[in-house]
Structure 1
Amino acid sequence: MTTYSVRSGDTLGALARRFNTSVDALAKANGIANPNKIYAGQKLNVPDGFDAPRVSGSGGGSSYTVKSGDTLSGIAGKFGTSVSALAKANGISNPNRIFAGQRLTIPGSGGAAPSSPAPSGGSRTHTVKSGDTLSGIAGKYGTSVGALQRANNISNPNLIYVGQKLTIPGGGAAPGQPAPNPPPVGGVGGPKPVPGGSAGVTVAQLRRVMPNLSQAKAEQYLPHLNRAMAEANITTPQRKAAFLAQLAHESGELRYMEEIASGAAYEGRRDLGNTQPGDGVRYKGRGPIQLTGRANYRAAGQALGIDLEGNPARAKDPDVAFRIAGWYWSSRNLNTYADAGNFREVTRRINGGYNGMASREMYYRRAQDVF
């Protein structure tokens, strides 16, 4: 029996595929009651006879070794195939879960098959799906990342979000020519995206976590929420579950973007930076994770390039509020604790204690079931 040290982003399912075993066998060998809960640094026993990584898939195609930052959609775009064809050829049940070092069989004969070029003249549109990257989309439509950026006013090619409508420029790159391959959707200033992860959730997933959220509100908030999750590298099931559970509790399932109380109770709170008369009311809690106090408004505004100290009411607007929540999450390194399954520490770093723990854990369990 060999041992394996879990890395950030690993899942028991991916490890089972890698070592040609099953989730049940790994769970049994390691006394794991919940196969969705493993953590970085954990030592796993791999049952004897399953040590060699498996190379699966049908014959007649080339192979590709997954690198850190790859996504199945990006690989599909590079080789002129589809995500579903790659998944089928390699026995992949969840296309959002591939891992660095995994060898993939590329369906087809002898390498990359030509992609269909975009029609010359005119343009078409593409709705971003979970797992998409700009390079993968470029490869799919026979264009380039740069052309997509220019057509859609995208300054950072690593920041696209689920549900975003992209214009595909006509007359793209030559068929089959692989586009540049930047990392998948990820954030600025945070850790690199976890291999196999993808930013963003769907309206249906959001409403399953927050059943009291209306369809209309979910659709209104989703683009802003997904952008924030991309910026904060909330790209794995563990991170999504922890983040959305905290937002659900803090905001009453996104019902409240501004604290109901007047904020007068925060008057004179120097620990919050409230040093001027009226600061308590002016800088009361706003956003899905209640940003409170002049000092926090100043810090969030500086990080996001928005004058929140001078215009604090902006903190409750959805386009800003969700980005603040993502900034707050990243600034307290909460992805690390989410990766380890340490939801209690996530709560402490958000709340300063454990208020509402039962409610938070209820949402966390619900979100774990969704993701």
Structure 2
Amino acid sequence: MPAQFKKSLLAAVVLMLTTLLFTIPVSAQNRQHVVRPGETLATIAAFYGTTWQQIAAVNGIVNPNLIYAGYPLIIPPAQPATINYTVQYGDNLTLIAQRYNTTVDAIATQNNIAVWEYLHAGQVLKIPVVAAPLPVPPRPAPTASRYYVQYGDTMFRIAGYFGVNVYDLAEVNGVLNLNRIYVGQSLVIPAR
């Protein structure tokens, strides 16, 4: 092997090992951010929906003023919005979770307590706020409408068009033979 090739191979191996050794491990939930000029931990935290204290803790930063442009940071997952709830006599995690449309595990995790732990009246819990789905507006009550038979119509075609059962259509209109309708005949279309 030529000496130049050995040097190139050695440099490549050293570069790969250095990259592997100094890469910051990032969990599937965490993201990486490289500090840009003018950024502070507070502005970065606000962008990612977390706190500067959490970013500092995850990255082992003692003095948050000593970060610089190019500094790689691990960004912890955003914390869910919470509300404070004061435990009432007789409350338990299951009742509270049901009341706030969340889970016992979510409340326990948010408050660093075990799911089996007893609660005491006056204890303040942070309850993760789950965005409620937008309410679905109620459908207007279906009303019967009228249809005038056209050339080529059949009871089956009319029923299919209006999304009603053909036999319901026939019954409402007193039609005894599904093949006996005529052009211009007025049919009441039953509500669905």
- TM-score between the two structures when normalised by the length of structure 2: 0.29
**Larger Rg computed on CA atoms:** 2
- TM-score between the two structures when normalised by the length of structure 1: 0.16
> Which structure shows the higher strand fraction?
2
Structure ranking higher on relative contact order (CA contacts 8 Å, 6+ apart): 2
